[in-house]
């Protein structure tokens, strides 16, 4: 297997990091339909509107996560969207152990993307690409900002983004908009849509007009990785 250290365009890394880092739901609970008298009763006991703090608090409680994802990227120059499917795994880490994340793509082809020990690594089973985040301050800022999202660090997050929440009949939306360059030169906004404790999808809109939509299913937001499972998932073997 060949291994290379590269410095890719920020936009490419942003897409990879966003798909990996932002595809992290909070606690997923079934959403059932309510009709008739039961609907009126549910309205009487409707939960309070979501806020930035309440959403970040949900994310901060995730010890480990496993879910399936489906990503659809609409690119202005292409007539059909680019589709991919696979799984996402996250472990928060404790003490001196840093968080680790893995996105394993099964379709259209096998690939694994890892963020671990200050590196973003990608492999298709033949070639491995390593991105040293310490040598790429712009990319590192991008990656760090989403780790801050997952640990619920609002103060750190607001140094990079403006945060707002929209509440509606279909649920809530957490909106992140970059405050300044260089992020605002390629990302217009990132929207997390959810219902109650269920985050259902993420939509990233780029300045170019390209839109990436990631939906989630089969989510275990309280996942505890056994040693063998962890070794397999957080490896560069697709």
34-51 pLDDT tens trace: 344 444 454 555 668 999
Please report, rounded to a whole number, the percentage of residues in the chain having pLDDT higher than 70: 77
Q: Is the dihedral of CA 152, 158, 160, 166 positive or negative?
A: positive
> Is residue 116 situated within a structural domain?
yes
> Alpha carbon of 182 to those of 11, 40, 134, 138, 218: distances in Å?
10, 48, 17, 7, 35
Per-residue model confidence (pLDDT) at position 33: 32
> Is residue 42 situated within a structural domain?
no
> Is residue 238 situated within a structural domain?
no
Does residue 124 have a pLDDT over 80? yes
CATH of the domain at 55: 2.50.20.10
Does residue 112 have a pLDDT over 90? yes
Residue 178 belongs to domain spanning:
2-28+49-233
Does residue 217 have a pLDDT over 50? yes
74-89 pLDDT tens trace: 998 889 999 999 999 9
Q: How far apart are the first and last CA of the chain?
A: 12
143-190 pLDDT tens trace: 777 677 777 889 989 998 999 999 998 899 999 999 988 788 888 998
Per-residue model confidence (pLDDT) at position 219: 83
Mean pLDDT, residues 2-14 taken together:
48
> Is residue 148 situated within a structural domain?
yes
52-72 pLDDT tens trace: 999 999 888 888 889 999 999
- Predicted confidence band at 111 (pLDDT cuts at 50, 70, 90)? very high
Per-residue model confidence (pLDDT) at position 215: 95
Per the structure, the count of domains in the chain is: 1
Q: Is the dihedral of CA 75, 125, 85, 164 positive or negative?
A: negative
- Other residues' Cβ atoms within 10 Å of the Cβ of residue 123: 21
Per-residue model confidence (pLDDT) at position 224: 92
208: which DSSP letter?
T
Per-residue model confidence (pLDDT) at position 26: 29
> Is residue 224 situated within a structural domain?
yes
Does residue 227 have a pLDDT over 80? yes
């Amino acid at each position: 297997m060949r291994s290379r250290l590269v410095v890719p365009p920020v936009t490419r890394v942003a897409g990879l990091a966003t798909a990996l880092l932002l595809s992290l739901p909070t606690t997923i609970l079934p959403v059932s339909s309510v009709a008739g008298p039961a609907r009126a009763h549910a309205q009487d006991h409707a939960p309070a509107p979501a806020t930035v703090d309440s959403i970040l608090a949900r994310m901060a409680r995730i010890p480990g996560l496993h879910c399936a994802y489906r990503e659809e990227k609409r690119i202005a120059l292409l007539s059909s969207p680019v589709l991919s499917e696979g799984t996402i795994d996250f472990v928060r880490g404790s003490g001196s152990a840093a968080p680790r994340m893995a996105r394993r793509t099964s379709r259209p082809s096998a690939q694994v993307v890892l963020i671990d020990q200050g590196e973003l690594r990608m492999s298709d089973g033949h070639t491995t690409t390593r991105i040293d985040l310490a040598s790429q301050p712009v990319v590192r800022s991008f990656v760090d900002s989403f780790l801050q999202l997952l640990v619920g660090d609002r103060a750190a997050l607001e140094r990079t983004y403006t945060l707002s929440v929209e509440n509606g009949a279909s649920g809530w939306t957490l909106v992140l908009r970059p405050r300044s360059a260089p992020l605002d030169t390629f990302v217009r906004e990132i929207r997390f849509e959810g219902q109650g404790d269920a985050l259902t999808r993420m939509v990233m809109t780029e300045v170019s007009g390209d839109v990436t939509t990631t939906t989630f299913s089969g989510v275990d937001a309280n996942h505890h990785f056994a040693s063998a499972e962890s070794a397999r998932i957080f490896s560069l073997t697709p």
